[in-house]
Amino acid sequence: MDSAIVYWLDLAGTMVFALSGVLLACRSRMDPIGMLVLAAATAVGGGTMRDLVLGVQPVFWVTDTTYLWVVLATVGASLIGYRYIHRLNRVFLPVADAFGLALFVVIGANKALLLGFSGVVAVLMGLFTGVAGGMIRDVLARRVPLVLRSEIYATAAIAGGVVYVVCEVLGVAHLGLVLSLATTLGLRLAAIRWKVSLPVFVWAMIDPDVSTRQAADADFTASVHTDQPPGKPVRRKMRVRMVHHRKARTLWAEDE
């Protein structure tokens, strides 16, 4: 890989991830310090975890403080243009985040391979680099991390990492860079465009005369009509099904 191009793209990905942390801080009504913390956690958290796991000391942003300056500049620009940054949340930021994810996966996997680790470890390091920062950000904001929900996010990162490692083993590193970026980016953008998601497990409380499949297909809830005599309690049963996340909301509210 051309190290200079990758370096500048890495800084661009750092800026995008920092901006996503700023936007979440705004939605969570945090002060400027909170914005800075979430921006830094999102931008360099994944790479920091990667370096710590791989035993790289000091971590990358200690040896190259340009990453910290990019985070500071992003937060500063957001504070100046705070009236307009919320408009980036609809179209630009999800797409830019997908580009950042694809690039971070390649960088993490490549670093692990350069240090002599196995392909499995390289795929995991690509995953860590791409998603760990967002997980830290969501935890600090008291949200369920995006990667642990039904979004096609970690799946895209794993697929891109596998493609890159396979191409490296076959000796086509430059092709692997392109194919890995295309795989991660294609899966993530397709998930955003067509709202594709993984199925989720849902607990459903249904009446004894209604099957769980009928409850899911017909959008039944706990108040399904039955022929039980008035005043007689209905013994509902708890069932578990794997359904689409939209169907899950009809069977079991997220806050229950």
85 and 115 co-located in one domain: yes
Q: How many domains does the chain have?
A: 2
Q: Is residue 256 part of a domain?
A: no
Cβ atoms of residues 4 and 121 within 8 Å: no
R_g of the chain computed on alpha carbons: 22
Q: CB atoms < 10 A from the CB of 191, how many?
A: 20
Cβ atoms of residues 102 and 180 within 8 Å: yes
pLDDT number for residue 136: 96
Higher pLDDT, 83 or 54: 54
Q: Is residue 24 part of a domain?
A: yes
Show the domain range for 205.
Answer: 200-251
State the average pLDDT for the chain: 83
66 and 145 co-located in one domain: yes
Q: What pTM value is reported for the model?
A: 0.81
Residue 207, both tokens = 């009446």
10 and 49 co-located in one domain: yes
User: pLDDT grade, residue 183 (50/70/90)?
Assistant: very high
Q: Which residue has the tokens 């750092």?
A: 14
Higher pLDDT, 233 or 177: 177
86 and 178 co-located in one domain: yes
Strands 200-206 and 237-243 turn out to be antiparallel
Percent residues over pLDDT 90 in the chain: 55
Helix (H) or strand (E) holding 242: strand 237-243
What would the pLDDT profile of 108-160 be if each residue is shown by its tens digit?
999 999 999 999 999 999 999 999 999 999 999 999 888 887 679 999 999 99
Comparing C-alpha atoms, which of 62, 43, 50 is closest to residue 101? 43
Torsion of CA 132, 137, 141, 142, to 10 degrees: 0
Please state the φ and ψ torsions of residue 41, each to the nearest 5 degrees.
-65, -40
What is the rounded CA–CA span in Å between residue 164 and residue 175?
Answer: 9
214 and 136 co-located in one domain: no
